[in-house]
Amino acid sequence: MTTSPESPTPPQGVDPTTTPQDVAPAAASAPQDAATDGLAAAVAAEPAGPQTENDRLHDGVNRCPKCGSTEVQLRPATGTLVCLFCRHEWSEARVEEALGLGEGLRDLRGTVIASGASDIDQAVDTVMTLKCGGCGAEVIVNTTTELTARCHWCRHVLTINEQIPNGAVPDALLPFHVTHDQAVAQIRQFASKRRLFAHARFKSEFTPENVVGVYLPYMVVDANASADVAGQGEVLIRTYTRGSGDDKKTYYDADVYRVQRHLEFTVDDLTVESSADRANIDVSRNTNNIINSILPFDTKNAVAWNAAYLVGFTSEKRDQDVSAIQPRVEDQLLSIARSKAQASVTAYDRGVRWEQESLDVRGTRWVSMYLPVWLYSYYHVESGRGMVHYIAVNGRTGETMGSVPLARGKLLLAALAAGTVVESLVVAFLVATA
């Protein structure tokens, strides 16, 4: 708080307890200096990230620990892996506790990158050849869309679990909890509420049973940051009117303040897309915003990697490194800071115009995860331009969002009809009162 003589007296009509002046004392410069020092130290010696490779597993045949079968898959109701031969159920360890991801946020310094989130080496092929441990056959797996395969000779299930720098095996994953039937019901309900103006072809071809379970790649980021915002705010002093009759006009008097705020905060599990295609959100060209809008996931329940969780599902490989995602994360941190700052400027009842902002990221921790999404896709061509419309269901919470192609002609007619009715009523009113 500024205590200099130029500090204004609280304006009339504003609760003194909530005047702009009533903020906590200004931060000493020490934390800023400490931050700068911390960042410099971090740059000098970047801390090593946790190694997340599942040592018990390797590429190829991975057997049920009880009976030795490779027929292992996810049981969505319990979130566990189940052996289809002996019904033995087990889970991989939660990474939150195993890696201590919920701890030490205030002490984060530098850029800590878990081993599964490390930079992608473009020279490493995404198509991998696995040698079947059952019969010796070679099986090809395209890691862009799958991380499991069945040996075409001996029928063993082969899985990819070793972290090589092609972005295919992440640090952790969140198993599907919402079943196929539940996803179909959610999508059907979503679309049924939007039947009236839906495009006729979409309605006739609507087949929610075709929904596909996909593990999509995300970076889950913890951050320790501070932000400064500055601008101008106005406090209403007086409202009055001048003139009379139709010329009566309202005028306002206001005091203008220079406003500055400093925020210190940590962010836990900020989740951002790590596939360039999914991160490209442009509502005029794609419906990726739909998939973005079903966030967040309960990432605290993510488990260590085991490709057996992916049996029966498809996946999308990560193709972006930390450096490519960092600007988006910084942008989101600034938005979070602005959101938090809003609560401290409520006394400016005529609003605040922020003009400058700065962000000091002291530390971040990056963990790559596959998160479960049920995706219903419908390709629709409109005005010569094709677009895939998604209806997406969060594979954990069931949150559903979608884009339904419109029957534009029908919608135009409805809008025209509504406008005509309203206009007729207005004309009738004007005639009656003329």
Interface residues for other proteins in 174-203 (CB under 8 A)?
194, 197-198
| Residue whose structure tokens are 């620990």 | 65
- Residue 206 CB, shortest distance to other proteins, in Å, is 14
Judged by CB under 8 A, the residue of 332, 377, 388, 398 near other proteins is 332
| Residue whose structure tokens are 């419906």 | 287
- Residue 124 CB, shortest distance to other proteins, in Å, is 31
- Residue 262 CB, shortest distance to other proteins, in Å, is 5
User: 3-state DSSP call for residue 126?
Assistant: coil
Q: 145 or 424, CB closer to other proteins?
A: 424
Rule CB under 8 A: is residue 379 a binding residue for other proteins? no
Rule CB under 8 A: is residue 336 a binding residue for other proteins? yes
Measured CA to CA, the distance from residue 90 to residue 382 in angstroms comes to 48
Judged by CB under 8 A, the residue of 25, 384, 386, 409 near other proteins is 25
Q: Sign of the CA dihedral 213, 218, 222, 223?
A: negative
List the one residue out of 387, 372, 392, 379 whose CA is nearest residue 187. 392
How many residues are given for the chain?
A: 434
Give the DSSP per-residue string, 320-378: --HHHHHHHHHHHHHHHHHHHHHGGGTT-TT-EEEEEEEEEEEEEEEEEEEEEEEEEEE
* Main-chain phi, psi angles of 110, to 5 degrees: 70, -165
- Residue 77 CB, shortest distance to other proteins, in Å, is 26
Measured CA to CA, the distance from residue 126 to residue 130 in angstroms comes to 12
The residues with which 241 forms a beta bridge, in sequence order, are: 250
Q: 127 or 256, CB closer to other proteins?
A: 256
Rule CB under 8 A: is residue 355 a binding residue for other proteins? yes
- Residue 197 CB, shortest distance to other proteins, in Å, is 6
The residues in 226-265 that bind other proteins, with binding defined as CB under 8 A, are: 228, 231-234, 245-247, 249-265
Measured CA to CA, the distance from residue 230 to residue 215 in angstroms comes to 41
The residues in 388-427 that bind other proteins, with binding defined as CB under 8 A, are: 401-406, 411-412, 414-416, 418-420, 422-424, 426-427
- Residue 236 CB, shortest distance to other proteins, in Å, is 9
Under rule CB under 8 A, how many of the chain's residues touch other proteins?
109
x/- map, 278-307, other proteins, by CB under 8 A: ---x-x---x-xx-xxxxx-----------
76: preceding bond cis by omega (within 30 degrees) = no
- Residue 323 CB, shortest distance to other proteins, in Å, is 18
